[in-house]
Amino acid sequence: MPPFPRLPFLRLPKMPYLPGVSYPRVYLYKRLVQAKLFIDEQYATPINLGSVAGEAFFSKFHFIRLFKKAYGRTPGQYLTAVRVDRARTLLRGGHNVTDACYAVGFDSLSSFTGLFKRLTGQTPSAFKRECQAMRAEPLHFVPPCFAAHHGWASSPAVAAASVAVPPAAAPAEAPKEQF
């Protein structure tokens, strides 16, 4: 005999079906959006999964599953993306890398640099140098076809593209192998 007596299977009454009413799903999405907005507003503060899940009134594990299903990434991945995006905005505005790192909520400059490079493909310092160069000489970053179409012949990119380059000689055909 088991140590605890088994309880008989309890059947709960079914909820009535109402055509066209999708109340539970809409309610879940509203709670997920509320949690996403919480991340968007509080990205610079120390956020943990429990506080975000609590904002949506879900358990941590259920919240991760629902958030990933709705947004295609986990809440932690989304928080990192928001922080890196805000850091890019600060770097474009002229802030230095260290200030941008701590202003968006990262605790470590090395982890910030690694995550920034993984998400954007370049380090924060390289991104800042590129933004400064773009601000100093914006015509260097205009595609030559766009500049030529709008009559911006003074663009260095257009001048370099307008130099006639002789066409390359067609490669000789390789002899076909016969088996």
Q: What is the DSSP letter of 52?
A: H
Is 139 in contact with 157 (CB distance < 8 Å)? Answer: yes
Cα–Cα distance, 79 to 89 (Å, whole number): 16
Minimal CA–CA distance to 52: which of 72, 71, 21, 74?
74
The helices-and-strands tally (H runs, E runs) of the chain is 9, 0
Q: Predicted confidence band at 148 (pLDDT cuts at 50, 70, 90)?
A: confident
Cα–Cα distance, 148 to 152 (Å, whole number): 6
Q: Predicted confidence band at 27 (pLDDT cuts at 50, 70, 90)?
A: confident
Cα–Cα distance, 34 to 52 (Å, whole number): 9
Q: What is the DSSP letter of 138?
A: G
Q: At residue 103, does pLDDT exceed 60?
A: yes
Minimal CA–CA distance to 35: which of 61, 67, 77?
67
In 3-state terms, the chain is what percent helix, strand and coil (to 5)?
A: 60, 0, 40
Q: At residue 72, does pLDDT exceed 70?
A: yes
Is 154 in contact with 139 (CB distance < 8 Å)? Answer: yes
Mean per-residue pLDDT, 146-156: 70
Could you report the per-residue pLDDT of 32-58, keeping only the tens digit for each?
999 999 999 999 999 999 999 999 989
Cα–Cα distance, 43 to 21 (Å, whole number): 35
Could you report the per-residue pLDDT of 114-144, keeping only the tens digit for each?
999 999 999 999 999 998 988 888 777 788 8
- What per-residue string of b and e applies to 141-168 under the rule 16 or more CB within 10 Å gives b? ebebeebbeeeeeebebbeeeeeeeeee
